Chains A and B, each alone.
Chain A
């Protein structure tokens, strides 16, 4: 087995030994979906939403939230803490390149996000009759683009934060505005023009809309694809430039 894959396996094992990260990333999104689904009004078709139910709108949001939690809280905290403790530095004395750790973390985060997405979709379908995405390939594409963009932002936070505590703090500060513009408090369909435009330009806003479009059978809109790719390239590029190993 390649060294990177072995490293990914170990890091995944370590992830499951951290109760707090585990709860935030793996337990809270499905629980949130269940809580929302239990609100009776959310299961009624809503004319404002074009006949869709609130729970239908929230499902892609919960999927996006999973990616966001991993990207803005787990990923930066872990990398910054590893840097602080000298774990990354120690890796530089071994034959494996420290970039392998970054790759391992991204692989792990993507797999966990994917697993939680499947759990959320299953609960939505089985518990609340939310239809499965009509265009699965498109949904997957939207998911991967969203992960790419958000993980790039997470890496940027990891590269700029001096230590574990500040990485957590910065991640949290970005977490809520991102989710706001994704429509967690005010659904995108209720936003005025200004808010909607801003939302379209944030990686999560673009992600949620793309997931929604895919659920209804369409491919993501070009604007949103461009927004997510743009964030991925810019944030990723800056992270590569500024990342320190010690």
Chain B
């Protein structure tokens, strides 16, 4: 059952169309990603879903509520972590949590939530004294404090160091495991690949593709490469005879086998049959980066 439905969403700013007919649905319980370069219209799209921006066209339904016609019910079921937003400088973590708790009908236990986010020892710390990673964790805490059915996370890990980023990823999965549907905006490939069940690739205000990360990759380039160092010289014909294999090349003392399908299984079976041991075995496949370039004509970093 779709918990978020977006149909032909349009949003214009002073003559420039930021979102041009974007459509997607998010199923209950999944982590759905919106991936695209800066300026693609990702944040504008989710702001229309959150009800922070009025839209110029199309239909949006979140848990059956139209964000534009909402009288307050949406805020009880949707929690949002915004890209750049802060709390008053000198408010303490505990004060903010207690205050926000009072806004919701059925809030989570805020002390338990702080514990789960490893912020318990910061209860009396002022917001301005938190590190970047701690501020992000507090942001997440506030977004899920009301026990929402949907959480929208916008560029959650921008500016975090790699360890803090990984911690945030673990956290997001924990939240999903609690039953919250997550709409995630990102411009990090690794993040999308790691977290998303499905994702929509957005470029210049339009949806370019919607699929699982693996699906996107295989549609675009389903080739894989197996590299290894054979223990004894091997006749290439043995490998090229396999239906899965496209080419075999020599690179120094390594063999590079390019092909499709269950390539690794086919190659290792043949090697075992010929009593060849494969050392330094490595499998490479096209990445989401490659998929993005193929879909949009340029790398995500542009």
Contact = CB atoms under 8 A, between A and B. Distances in A.
A7 B99 contact: yes
Interface string B171-188: 000000000000000000
A21 to B, nearest CB: 12
A86 B86 contact: yes
Contact of A89 (B78, B85, B99): B85
B90 A17 contact: yes
A165 to B, nearest CB: 15
A92 B67 CA distance: 12
A88 B52 CA distance: 12
A95 B72 contact: yes
Contacts of B88: 14, 82, 87
A92 B103 CA distance: 12
Interface in A65-97: 82, 85-87, 89-90, 92-96
A87 B103 contact: no
B85 A86 contact: yes
A94 B104 CA distance: 9
A14 B95 CA distance: 10
B82 interface: yes
A213 to B, nearest CB: 40
Interface string B74-117: 01101110101111101100010001101110000000000000
Task: Give the interface centre of B82, B95, B103, B104 by most chain A CB atoms within 10 Å.
Answer: B103
A17 B91 CA distance: 9
Contacts of B104: 95
B133 interface: no
A186 interface: no
B144 to A, nearest CB: 12
B50 interface: yes
A1 interface: yes
A195 interface: no
A226 interface: no
Nearest to B152: A93
A6 B80 CA distance: 22
A240 interface: no
A220 to B, nearest CB: 37
A223 interface: no
B14 to A, nearest CB: 16
Given A95-B75, A95-B76, A95-B146, A87 B102 contact: no
Interface in A1-24: 1, 3, 6-7, 10, 13-14, 17-18
Contacts of A82: 88
B79 A90 contact: no
Nearest to B101: A6
Contact of A93 (B72, B79, B91): B79
Contacts of B100: 94
Contacts, number: 53
A93 B103 CA distance: 11
A87 B52 contact: no
Task: Give the interface centre of A3, A86, A93, A94 by most chain B CB atoms within 10 Å.
Answer: A93
B294 to A, nearest CB: 36
A85 B90 contact: no
Task: Give the interface centre of A14, A18, A90, A96 by most chain B CB atoms within 10 Å.
Answer: A90
A85 B82 contact: no
Nearest to B126: A17
Contact of A90 (B72, B87, B99): B87
Contacts of B50: 93
B95 A89 contact: no
A13 B102 contact: no
B44 to A, nearest CB: 13
A243 B221 CA distance: 52
A92 B143 CA distance: 12
Given A6-B99, A7-B99, A10-B99, A93 B87 contact: no
A1 B52 CA distance: 27
Contacts of B72: 95
A93 B86 contact: no
A4 B52 CA distance: 21
Contacts of B143: 93
A92 B53 CA distance: 11
Contact of A1 (B75, B85, B102): B102
Nearest to B72: A95
Contact of B102 (A6, A14, A18, A85): A6
Nearest to B91: A14
Contact of B95 (A10, A87, A90): A10
18 contacts: A3-B103, A10-B99, A13-B95, A85-B85, A86-B82, A87-B88, A89-B52, A89-B82, A89-B85, A90-B85, A93-B75, A93-B80, A94-B75, A94-B100, A94-B146, A95-B72, A95-B103, A95-B146
Given A6-B102, A93-B82, 12 more contacts: A6-B99, A14-B91, A85-B86, A86-B85, A86-B86, A87-B88, A90-B86, A92-B52, A93-B78, A93-B80, A94-B75, A95-B146
